[in-house]
Chain A
């Protein structure tokens, strides 16, 4: 379980990523920017799983790429154990990469089809010779295959000989090879069948207990995120709109967007369905190249008032619940944050 009294292992402060939109072929000029990630802050504690949810295009995957330094942040800082890693390069960046690894969304494209499983899982050791096992590299690769529940005899096979779930296990084994402290999972199960999803999620939980990993778990499936996460952050159009413990987000959501999302989760129990109010949002997600003023969600929000267009709501504990001692007192970026009990499950 998360130990929030300790120092955070990863701290993100005011992270911004704008992708420039250019025009012209010979003389390029910037005509605007897609604000994929706009001023996001959160922390990750050792041994914790932070889930990040949000619909397609809200900037979840960009956050993952920024944390992995696959994209350079436009502004903001990423602190790993107190050191800002967002501006590192060369040797220093390579050293940090040993400790932060990633599991990719699509197991069909994240493994090089021309390499054997042994080469794929062993590649981290070739890149970081100082982290390679002293003796037999093959033995370590076999051990990793065993850890993720694959037959070590598969070491000489190629990725296309495996099913989706098995491939994702290979991807996880590659991520584990360097003994990282943080694993960033960018929708690690959304490309898998439902039955296989559970196996992979359970494997990830087991590995977390075994190696004390911290996960940043990005997904759009609310039930899976609830299952694996200690804390959950909800993103909308490049902004974090609500963040808190999983009980706070799932049982006491105060942001209207979170409430709308949760009201759309299918419920297996018909009686519970009866008493629930479904919030149907109208309209589309606005373009991140030209987001609405003030609150980003105001164009689709049933609570929107003039104030929402003028003033950007800050991500903080709402005034109304400032003295509350329950899970309802968590950060929510809404001027009119309020619980709406009839939308949550159960």
Chain B
């Protein structure tokens, strides 16, 4: 055995040689789970398509004026009432036609993006923060803390998502983006909390957490340095998939007339406007619907791709 000389010598040099001969790590950049996932994702068409779509949507939401010169609120009732789309006139106000008040559907679709993206992203951020914190505390401390928190989570889970949001929103006179965001967040954080709790419970048993405890590490160090980074992956995936759900929930509420309403712009309320002329002017309904479905699809595809990349069972 080549290591017999280990006991005989005080010099560490031969030990180092043996250790390196023991299949040293390949040279190159350090790789972590996230960097592995990233190199996986870069080669995935579904991720690339979804990422491109989301990027475009974010730019539209931030700078709608770049995409259309028309104002979504200019109504030309006499000249453009339910005028049909002119599909060859790309990016012009006439591209998607006009609605029953003579407003450009294309401009409204562009300006309606912001509501969906802002509400979807802010609900997800709030839910990620609150849900992760609550789930982490319940999972890590266990015992009666877990019992109390889990019952609260169960109670919230028992409320049907849309029905609950409707009940909350009806009690407000003015329903802006903030109110809708908070209503969705109040009902949505429980999913993340549950996933986080389960993830933390499995991570806190790991030997490296025990090792940190045996070194004398405090609770916060263990939570932030050891538990959270290792428990985050499934939560991120669930949050990405949920983001699509929040966008669709906002559109549903706006469609039902208890979300955003005129003069605020939202694909949901535009679909509501379009449904009345569905036989004579399908385009008023169809273009906001396509944008809505496309946006939700992009976020779902992204969540799916990220889950595949982060799932250690597929590695």
Most A CB contacts (10 A, CB to CB) among B7, B210, B211 go to B211
Please, which residues of chain A bring their CB within 8 A of the CB of B32?
A: 113-114, 158
Of all chain B residues, which has the CB nearest A147?
B12
A70 touches B214 (CB 8 A): yes
Flag whether B163 is at the interface (Cβ < 8 A): no
Please, which residues of chain B bring their CB within 8 A of the CB of A109?
A: 206-208
Q: Mark B1-42, 1 if CB is under 8 A from A, else 0.
A: 101101100101001101110111110001111000000000
B153 to chain A, nearest CB (A): 17
B230 touches A124 (CB 8 A): no
Please, which residues of chain B bring their CB within 8 A of the CB of A195?
A: 1
B190 to chain A, nearest CB (A): 21
Which of A97, A157, A166, A203 makes the CB contact (< 8 A) with B30?
A: A157
Please, which residues of chain A bring their CB within 8 A of the CB of B6?
A: 199, 202-203, 206
Chain A contact residues (Cβ within 8 angstroms of B): what range? 35 or more
Flag whether A316 is at the interface (Cβ < 8 A): no
Of all chain B residues, which has the CB nearest A100?
B214
Of all chain A residues, which has the CB nearest B3?
A199
**How far apart sit A147 and B20, CA to CA, in the bound complex (Å)?**
14
Flag whether B229 is at the interface (Cβ < 8 A): yes
Flag whether A298 is at the interface (Cβ < 8 A): no
Residues of A132-174 whose CB lies within 8 A of B: 146-151, 154, 156-158, 160-163, 165-166, 169, 171, 174
A98 touches B216 (CB 8 A): yes
Flag whether B73 is at the interface (Cβ < 8 A): no
Residues of A217-245 whose CB lies within 8 A of B: none
Please, which residues of chain B bring their CB within 8 A of the CB of A94?
A: 216
Flag whether A338 is at the interface (Cβ < 8 A): no
**How far apart sit A116 and B29, CA to CA, in the bound complex (Å)?**
12
Which of B23, B206, B212, B214 makes the CB contact (< 8 A) with A163?
A: B23
B217 touches A113 (CB 8 A): no
**How far apart sit A116 and B225, CA to CA, in the bound complex (Å)?**
12
Flag whether B44 is at the interface (Cβ < 8 A): no
B225 touches A161 (CB 8 A): no
Residues of B215-243 whose CB lies within 8 A of A: 215-218, 221, 225-226, 229-230
**How far apart sit A165 and B20, CA to CA, in the bound complex (Å)?**
10
B16 touches A123 (CB 8 A): no
A319 to chain B, nearest CB (A): 41
**How far apart sit A123 and B226, CA to CA, in the bound complex (Å)?**
11
Flag whether A333 is at the interface (Cβ < 8 A): no
B1 touches A124 (CB 8 A): no
Q: Mark A64-101, 1 if CB is under 8 A from B, else 0.
A: 00001110000000000000000000000110011001
A149 touches B15 (CB 8 A): yes
**Beyond A116-B30, A165-B22: 20 further Cβ-contacts under 8 Å?**
A68-B214, A97-B216, A110-B208, A113-B208, A113-B230, A114-B33, A114-B230, A123-B215, A127-B215, A147-B12, A151-B19, A158-B31, A161-B31, A166-B22, A171-B211, A178-B215, A195-B1, A196-B22, A206-B15, A210-B10
User: Interface on B for A, CB 8 Å cutoff?
Assistant: 1, 3-4, 6-7, 10, 12, 15-16, 18-20, 22-26, 30-33, 206-208, 210-218, 221, 225-226, 229-230
